[in-house]
Amino acid sequence: MKKITGLEMAGISKSFGEVSANRNISLSVSSGEVLGLLGENGAGKTTLMNILYGLYRPDKGTIRINGNPVAIRSPRDSIRAGIGMIHQHFMLVQNHTVLENLILGYDQAPMVLPHRYMRVRVAEFEKKYGIHIDPDKQVWELSAGEQQKVEILKALLREADLLIMDEPTSVLTPQEADDLYRVIRRMKDEGHSVILISHKLDEIMSICTRVTVLRKGETVGQAEVSAVDKAELARMMIGREVMFSFKKTPREPGDVVLEVRDLHVISDRNVPAVRGVSFSIHKNEIFGIAGVSGNGQREMVEAITGLRKAKSGDIVLEGSSIVNESARVVNSRGVTHVPEERIKFGIVPNLLIYENAVLKQHTMSPFSRVMFLDYDSIRDHAMELVDRFQVSAPSIHVPTKNLSGGNIQKLIIAREIHRKPALLVASHPTYGLDVGATEYIRSQLLIRRDEGGAVLLVSEDLEELFEVCDRIAVMFKGQIMGILSPGDRDIEDIGLMMTGSIGTDTPKEQGE
């Protein structure tokens, strides 16, 4: 007995403070349908779905299930109505076991000693849907793909008829994504409905039956997938014709800039995160690191930039070792860093734009004399950066947190790149940015490469890596599984390397 045969959202509006995230949005979905919710980052897709799931309350608008208006005040209400949601950032308690995560809020489980009951239920569902996870593992031990399976299991256990998935493939390898598509098709065949949030056109075209496109918080189009093509959807999503238009000119790699030899690094959890990584980067080269995040990329970048101690191994920059030097020394030797989590580590959000523009150089001439800051030269410098790197800001006298994500990232790139560093380390530099900013930042990386710089680019976005990199290393469980050049372009191989199924030149050690 299905609880939901048709669901409709009508005239939904929601704002956060002065920012209006959703304006008068409507959509509908019925059983056996996979609805794609397409839009760029910041278009309001997630907000809209969080409203449907009861995490946010709409300012205006109604939700109807099977034609009857319903009030969804909290996830409790939506779960009861038969709605399940798989969030982009998984809603799992990392330090708890899979079983405990499944028990959380599960009404049928007994109050006392629920573990045993749940174990039986999980086994049933595993058999039915072919999803296998060790229920006694702690969530942090699982890969992103496995965590997503826990989320799916959670929704299935609650008998969700409508499943919302927020960019479910963004953390998956291509093989894991195929697995997920199989699960989605299976659910569709069983009469469930699925709303799939995505900004990947291929994904929408291959799995969805219908699509609703959002732009800047408004509905800009709805269509049967069979009746539209990719170009048309892209135009709806972005509002203009867009084609990535860099010309990557072939370059002969120059001298070695950075050499990493047998690097070992320990993570915050006190387990080996980087286990014997070696590679070198040359002048005129962008060296990419592919891999699902959490496979040691962060720790490796932190070791190279001086933010984390290496356990063993060597890091050589232009002939001299920088291993275990402080971040300041590493920076002054010519390594600059565009960190992941830009708001947390890239800027001081409450400081003004011109102050952030000179971070890390504020102790150097001409910004500082004896022990005082020279604000005139700092402001002149900030003005210059903002102009040159197209940071759109009302003025340089506003707190940096007021800028959009894309402009914050442009400011960081400006700060890190204008000194022409020997090595630029960029972690997920375009994550969560809109197409325009993404395009701009990638082109800046290429410019730096053509000027003779070396760039280390860590990204989960394979398209990005193929577009800008000269060589790509794939990391898995702290090791490099292989180094490819984009000419190889074998996406299946990369996928297998990302899951550790194959490695080309690194002998596989025994896993722990």
The yes or no reply on residue 71 touching other proteins (CB under 8 A) is no
Minimum Å distance from CB 223 to other proteins?
A: 29
Region from 82-90, 202-210, 294-302, 313-321 binding other proteins, contact rule CB under 8 A? 82-90
Which segment (95-103, 255-263, 288-296, 350-358) binds other proteins by CB under 8 A? 95-103
225: amino acid identity, one letter: V
The residue (of 166 and 416) whose beta carbon lies closer to other proteins is 166
* Cα distance between residue 306 and residue 302, in whole Å: 6
| Rounded Cα gap, residues 411 and 429, in angstroms | 12
- Give, in degrees to the nearest 5, the angle at Cα 307 between 319 and 497: 80
Asked if 53 touches other proteins (CB under 8 A), the answer is yes
Q: Which CB, 42 or 500, lies closer to other proteins?
A: 42
Smallest CA-to-CA distance from 65 within 219, 156, 193, 167 is with 193
Query: Closest Cα to residue 34, out of 156, 212, 296?
Result: 212
**Considering only 79-87, 167-175, 215-223, 387-395, which stretch makes contact with other proteins by CB under 8 A?**
79-87
CB atoms within 10 A of CB 484: 22
Looking at beta carbons only, is 104 or 502 nearer to other proteins? Answer: 104
Which residues 263-302 are close enough to bind other proteins by CB under 8 A? 268-270
Tokens of 264: 């070992």
CB 483, CB 290: distance < 8 Å = no
383 in contact with other proteins (CB under 8 A):
no
Q: How far is the CB of 50 from other proteins (least distance, A)?
A: 8
Angstrom distance (rounded) from CA 201 to CA 36: 10
Residue in 2, 3, 64, 115 binding other proteins, rule: CB under 8 A: 115
Report the residue number, 135 or 288, with the smaller CB distance to other proteins: 135
Q: Which of 302, 299, 293 is nearest to 270 (CA)?
A: 299
CB-nearer residue toward other proteins: 261 or 264: 264
Residue whose CB is less far from other proteins, 91 or 223: 91
Q: According to DSSP H, which parts of 264-395 are helical?
A: 297-304, 327-332, 353-357, 375-388
Chosen residue from 1, 112, 243, 370 binding other proteins by CB under 8 A: 112
Distance CA 21, CA 2 (A): 32
One of 73, 76, 182, 328 touching other proteins (CB under 8 A): 76
Q: Could you tell me the smallest distance in angstroms from the CB atom of residue 91 to other proteins?
A: 4
| 85 makes contact with other proteins (CB under 8 A) | yes
∠ Cα 151 153 154 (to 5°): 65
Question: What is the maximum span of the chain, computed from C-alpha positions, in angstroms?
Answer: 77
Q: Residues 90, 95, 99, 105: what is their CA dihedral angle, to the nearest 10 degrees?
A: -60
- Report 434-473 residues binding other proteins (CB under 8 A): none
| Site size toward other proteins, by CB under 8 A | 37
129-188 residues near other proteins, rule: CB under 8 A: 154
Residues of the shown chain interacting with other proteins in the complex, contacts defined by CB under 8 A: 16, 47, 50, 53, 55-57, 74-76, 79, 85, 87, 90-96, 100-101, 103-106, 109-115, 154, 268-270
